[in-house]
A and B are shown apart, each in its own frame.
Chain A
Amino acid sequence: MHAPLVVTVVTAGLVLALAGSAASLLDRSDRIADRVLLLLAGVTEAAVAVQAAVAAAGLISGHDVRSTPTFVAYLVGDAAVLPFAFAWAWADRNRWSGAVVALGGVTVAVMTGRLVMMWQGRA
């Protein structure tokens, strides 16, 4: 896996998690909070997409993982997390929407960690 991309994805996911948690704890559901969360999620999702493209290119050019279907499923799943999290959180915008998005950020970070382990042949 491309190390700087991994660091970017995990950092962005965790920053999103912090911001989402803060929005829920401070009960901020105004337009500014919405925009901050949307921006952070957008940055995270963009980094996830680039990471997926780079990893897919690596697979095509011959990098070996223990189970290619599992790895690809993780790549796709990683990219699907935040859209689902936002759809679910904003279908009923309330105090807890930030926490739902925060969960999405943590999930992206954890899944990226698993991707790295699979890439290195450790899982």
Chain B
Amino acid sequence: MGEPTAPPVPSGSTPPAAPTRGAGRLLIAVYAVFAVAAVSRAGVQLATRFHEAPLAYLLSALSGVVYVVATVSLARRGAPARRVARAAVTTELAGVLVVGTLSIVAPGDFRHPTVWSLYGIGYGFVPLLLPVAGLWWLRRTATAR
């Protein structure tokens, strides 16, 4: 699903920046899909075969938590939620970059795939694009204030 650079969504009439409106609703929906997918996947991995690859499965769980926090905080209004969202999305970007790189450098430790392995190749690289879109959106809605 290509999403070309979006034309500005008119938001002048609402004084407080509302990240939940306009294209933000699509962003939050994508985050929600990843939150559910990552948490479910990690839940099954941890419950059924944790001992096979503790590192990969704990990273899976961590990515799930990050996606849940990002989804909820993006969907809420106000400055505190925005700060949490920024932290979560930044963590997510760091996670996909670090895990993506490690999975190439040390493939032995990452034979069991996580959402972030190989920069999210198993998910069409959406895990790599999503935090960039998230940070961009947070920035955009902040300047609209």
B interface list, Cβ under 8 A from A = 1, 3, 9, 20-23, 25-26, 28-30, 32-33, 36, 40, 44, 48
Contacts and interface: CB of A to CB of B under 8 A. Distances in A.
Interface in A70-123: 70, 73, 77, 84-85, 88-89, 92, 94-97, 99-100, 102-104, 106-107
Given A70-B44, A92-B21, A103-B33, A17 B1 contact: yes
A51 interface: no
Give chain A's interface secondary structure class: helix
A89 B25 contact: yes
A85 B29 contact: yes
B29 A103 contact: yes
Contact of B36 (A77, A89, A92): A77
Give chain B's interface secondary structure class: helix
Given A67-B48, A99-B3, A106-B1, A94 B21 contact: yes
Given A67-B44, A92-B25, A96-B26, A103 B1 contact: yes
B9 A92 contact: no
30 contacts: A67-B48, A70-B44, A73-B40, A77-B36, A84-B32, A88-B28, A88-B29, A88-B32, A89-B29, A92-B20, A92-B21, A92-B25, A94-B21, A94-B22, A94-B25, A95-B9, A95-B22, A96-B9, A96-B22, A96-B23, A96-B26, A97-B25, A99-B26, A102-B1, A103-B26, A103-B29, A103-B30, A104-B29, A106-B1, A107-B33
A21 interface: yes
Size range of the chain A interface in the assembly = 20 to 34
Nearest to A77: B36
Contacts of B40: 73, 77
Contacts of B21: 92, 94
Nearest to B48: A67
B40 to A, nearest CB: 7
Contacts of A92: 20-21, 25
Nearest to B28: A88
Contacts of B32: 84, 88
A97 B32 CA distance: 15
